[in-house]
Structure formats: structure tokens, C-alpha cells
Amino acid sequence: MRPKVLLLGGVSEALAMARHLAAEDIYSLAGLGRVPQDLPCQVRVGGFGGAEGLARFISEAGIQVLVDATHPYAAQISANAARAAQLAGIACWALRRPGWQAQAADDWREVADWRELIHTLAPFQRPLFTLGREPLEHLHEIPEHQHWTVRCLQQQPATPRAEIIGARGPFSLESERELFARLQCDVLISKNSGSAATDPKLQVARERGVPVLVLRRPELPAVDREFSDGQSLLAALTARRLG
């Protein structure tokens, strides 16, 4: 018999997978981004109330396979998924997208958290932040010798010492080249998402000899099966359905 799937989304591969789910399957989103209206499966939006809430949802909805296709830095929901699947006694499969690898000409410096990031940033003057909303909470702490540019999903007005660019990837190589040239940024700050939609910035940093401060990936829990891409996860789901 085919298993009923709960797919936890949050990255583009998850949406691509959701397009191949069946009518009884469920695609789940946290509710921060756009909610697609054209999927063949059910869509639910919002948290479950921790691992226990997710386990309850799994049991009540008769879910047989939980698929964690959330962002590599969304550590809480991934931990909840692994725990909830255990509690509910079902399999947890996960998309674990490989990180980007530095190349010979790259100057990447890994930082563990915001505190270490700010410390490492001290010698620079024109940082470009591309790691989400967190810098917006620190705009009042910008040192006098720095001017920040923050690119994130949220658009908001510039301040005297910061420009905020509201934008959603993918970003082309050409547009990233133009952005770096306009800003004259001397350091790039990034998560290591491993996404092809946002990696042109790394090439431009390489071309311009701009160092990259990379926020370390969080630890994610072990699950029953891990896949490095959505296609192979989908193929395994299909095989399980047929088997």
C-alpha cells in the first residue's frame, strides 16, 4: 500500500517535490513566505507546537512517512521532525543539501555565531550581509567605520549607515557583479546554504578577492534516510509507493 506523506517545506526543492505528491499527501509550510495555490496535494501553514504537536498531527492524519525538506539552517524544525517521527513510530527521511566548498582562490572564514561574526567583521568597512533578517536587529550597533548593506526578504527604509535590499533569489551572476561593483563591498557574509540559486555571489567575491564570512551550519539530527537532492528523494518515495 502507498504511504501517506507529510512533507515539511522551506526550500525550492521541497516545492518541486510537492508538485509530485498525491491528493492525500500534505505539504507543510511555516508561513513566512508565499503559499502556492496550484499543488496537487493538501497544503497546511503554521507550526505544529513542537515535536509533540507534530507527533500528534502525524498520528491524527495517518501519516506514514515524514519528509524533512526544510532549510539547512532551520535546525529547530529538523530536530522536531526527527523526534516526532520517533514518537509516532514512522520513518523520517530528510533532504540534506550539501554545503558549498571553498575553492583554491577563496578566502572563507567560518564563524560560529553572531558574536564571532561581529568580532571577525571589525577590520572591514563595507560588509554585504546575505544571511537573512538577523542583521536588521543590530542596525543600532553598527560601528562608526562601517556602512552595512543587508539583503534579505524584508524590504525596509535605509538608515544613515545601512542600506536594506529586499530581494528573493535566484540572483544572476551579472546582477551580483553589478551589486558588488555599486556597493564596493569589502566583505561578504553568508550562510552556507548550498543553493544554486544564490551561489553567484561566491563567484563574484572570488573574482574581486573579497573575503567571505561563512556562518557555520547547525548540527542536524540523524534520520532514517538522507538524500542530497530532491530528485533522488522523490524516486525513493515512488519506489516505496510501488513496493
Sheet holding 212-215, edge to edge: 108-111, 212-215, 187-191, 127-130, 148-152, 162-166
Of 32, 35, 197, 235, the one binding ligand NAP by CB under 6 A:
32
Establish if 8 lies at the interface with ligand NAP (CB under 6 A).
yes
Closest approach of Cβ 47 to ligand NAP, in Å?
Answer: 2
Q: With the CA atoms of 193, 25, 41 and 197 taken in that order, what torsion angle do they form, in degrees rounded to the nearest 10? A: 10
Identify the helix (H) or strand (E) that includes residue 18.
helix 12-18
Residue 39 contacts ligand NAP per CB under 6 A: no
Cell numbers for 27, please give them: 505539504
Contacts of residues 105-109 at CB distance under 8 Å and 24 or more positions apart, as own/partner, are 105/206, 106/202, 106/205, 106/206, 106/212, 107/209, 107/210, 107/211, 107/212, 108/211, 108/212, 108/213, 108/214, 109/211, 109/212, 109/213, 109/214
10: contact with ligand NAP by CB under 6 A: yes
Q: Which of the residues 173 through 202 are near ligand NAP (CB under 6 A)?
A: 191
Q: Closer CB to ligand NAP, residue 3 or residue 132?
A: 132
Task: Pick the binder of ligand NAP from 21, 55, 74, 213 (CB under 6 A).
Answer: 74
Should residue 71 be labelled a site residue for ligand NAP when binding is judged by CB under 6 A? yes
Q: How far apart, in whole angstroms, are the C-alpha atoms of residue 20 and residue 218?
A: 29
Interacting residue with ligand NAP among 4, 59, 99, 132 (CB under 6 A): 132
Candidates 75-83, 101-109, 120-128, 161-169: pick the segment binding ligand NAP (CB under 6 A).
Answer: 75-83
Residues in the chain: 243
- How many binding residues for ligand NAP (CB under 6 A)? 24
Residue with nearest beta carbon to ligand NAP = 10
Told to check if 73 binds ligand NAP by CB under 6 A, we report yes
Position 30 contacts ligand NAP (CB under 6 A): yes
Residues found near ligand NAP in the complex (CB under 6 A): 8-11, 28-30, 32, 47-50, 53-54, 70-71, 73-77, 80, 132, 191
